């Protein structure tokens, strides 16, 4: 896979108290991984709506939200590039990450020491990550149980 020139990320751009008006999808330029880093293509991200809503109000005691502020924590995906001195991961490896500001984006850079190898970049693996991953998996399961005449979500 060749590296994209740019990708998308979701960030808080204002503190309005409401996710829709506080957040925007922003274009982001690609940066190659540095020494000890890996680039990851996120496939699935955990969603914790209560936490995200509190971020929109700057109401999480241990996080000081200053816009623009990148969103998302838990994600699973695959390694698409490795930086110098990274020996524990190869391009194509399925991985998981849990870092504030790294989940709601197409790609992320992460320190290899903070990345976890998993057996697959799947919603089932994401559901095993504490916090939002379980919530997202439960919602996806609920949304996928459509009945005749029901609306499609997503």
Percent helix, strand, coil in the chain, to 5, is: 20, 30, 50
Structural contact between residues 3 and 28, judged by C-beta atoms closer than 8 angstroms:
no
pLDDT in tens, 35-89: 999 999 999 999 988 999 999 999 999 999 999 999 999 999 999 999 999 999 9
Output the DSSP codes for 16-52: -SSHHHHEEEEEEE-----TTEEEEEEEEE---HHHH
The pLDDT of residue 131 is 65
pTM: 0.81
Domain ranges within the chain, ordered by starting residue: 6-144
- Sign of the CA dihedral running 74, 36, 80, 13: positive
The pLDDT of residue 149 is 54
pLDDT of residue 133 exceeding 50: no
pLDDT of residue 137 exceeding 70: no
Structural contact between residues 73 and 132, judged by C-beta atoms closer than 8 angstroms:
yes
Determine whether domain 6-144 maps to CATH 3.90.180.10: yes
pLDDT of residue 143 exceeding 60: no
The pLDDT of residue 147 is 53
């Amino acid at each position: 896979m060749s590296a994209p020139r740019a990708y998308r990320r979701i960030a808080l751009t204002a503190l309005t108290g409401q996710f829709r008006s506080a957040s925007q999808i922003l274009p982001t330029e690609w940066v190659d991984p540095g020494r000890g880093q890996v680039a990851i293509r996120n496939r699935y991200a955990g969603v914790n709506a209560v936490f995200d809503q509190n971020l929109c109000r700057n109401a999480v005691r241990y996080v000081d939200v200053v816009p623009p502020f990148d969103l998302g924590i838990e994600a699973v995906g695959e390694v698409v590039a490795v930086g110098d001195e990274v020996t524990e991961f190869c391009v194509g490896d399925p991985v998981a990450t849990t870092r504030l500001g790294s989940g709601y984006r197409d790609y992320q850079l992460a320190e290899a020491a903070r990345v976890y190898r998993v057996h697959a970049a799947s919603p089932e693996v994401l559901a095993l990550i504490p916090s939002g991953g379980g919530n997202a998996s439960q919602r996806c399961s609920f949304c996928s149980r459509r009945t005749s005449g029901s609306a499609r979500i997503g």
